[in-house]
Amino acid sequence: MSELTPELLLHGYSIGIFPMAEHRDDPEIFWVDPRRRGVMPLNGFHLSRSLAKAMRKTPFTLTINRDFAGVVSGCADRVDTWINAEITQLYSALHVSGHAHSVEVWDGEVLVGGVYGVSLGTAFFGESMFSRRTNASKMALAALVDRLGTAGFTLFDTQFLTDHLASLGAIEISRAAYHAQLSTAKTGFAHFTAPPTTNFQDVMQRMTQTS
């Protein structure tokens, strides 16, 4: 791959591809264009009874874009990761330019979970999430889905469909179907930070009302 810039990275998303590295110490980055694509329908998040109960009673707090670097670092803090130093720098640059965002979960002043991704038009491309407390990543994902729906997004790309994401409501669609949705979404407008920061109890209540 030629030298990757934040602008080229954003262009890649606009045509339906995304970058990965084999592992954190591999300097090589390659583009990925899955034959089958994972997406999370914004009205299809599965809020289980146990998760709803946890969100109702949690002492955790929710923030948006408070610690983007911390979320990326948390996502990379695992044995196997595709997030190398260059990818970290590139997404940090996209965050500074307003195209990459994070949702954080805090236990007091300790970052215990989160999710981050890239926004373009009314499309949001989820990159990775992490958890250091029970349910922290699920709560972060629920808050993200709630925010995307409230802010007017139409496409939430999860890249691949894992068993974990499927249990939360994600589905798999063909490459052609994905590109059709992306073609419309990338020309729209949504503002990720427009909805006010809320709490997990409010997120849970809205999801319960719309399910």
Range of the domain at 112: 6-210
Residue 206 domain flag:
yes
Rounded average pLDDT over 118-128 = 97
Would residue 182 count as lying in a domain? yes
Letter for the amino acid at 65?
A: N
pLDDT at 210: 67
* Nearest to 131, CA basis, from 155, 156, 101, 110: 110
Q: Which residues contact 105 (CB under 8 A, 6 or more apart)?
A: 60, 61, 62, 111, 112, 113, 114, 133, 136, 137, 139, 140
Report which of 57, 63, 55 is spatially closest to residue 197, judged by C-alpha positions. 63
CATH number at residue 173: 3.40.630.70
Q: What is the CA radius of gyration of the chain?
A: 16
User: What tens digit of pLDDT does each residue of 20-53 get?
Assistant: 877 777 778 889 999 999 999 999 999 999 999 9
Query: Does residue 150 form part of some domain?
Result: yes
- Give the pTM: 0.94
- Domain membership flag for residue 12: yes
Residue 134 in domain = yes
**56 occurs within a structural domain:** yes
Stretch (H or E) spanning 174: strand 171-174
What is the pLDDT at residue 1? 46
Kindly state whether residue 54 falls inside one of the protein's structural domains: yes
Average pLDDT over residues 107-130: 97
Q: 123-131 and 155-159 as β-strands: parallel, antiparallel, unpaired?
A: parallel
Give the chain's mean pLDDT: 93
In a domain, 1, yes or no: no
Q: Report the domain count for the chain.
A: 1
Pairing of strands 100-107, 61-64: antiparallel
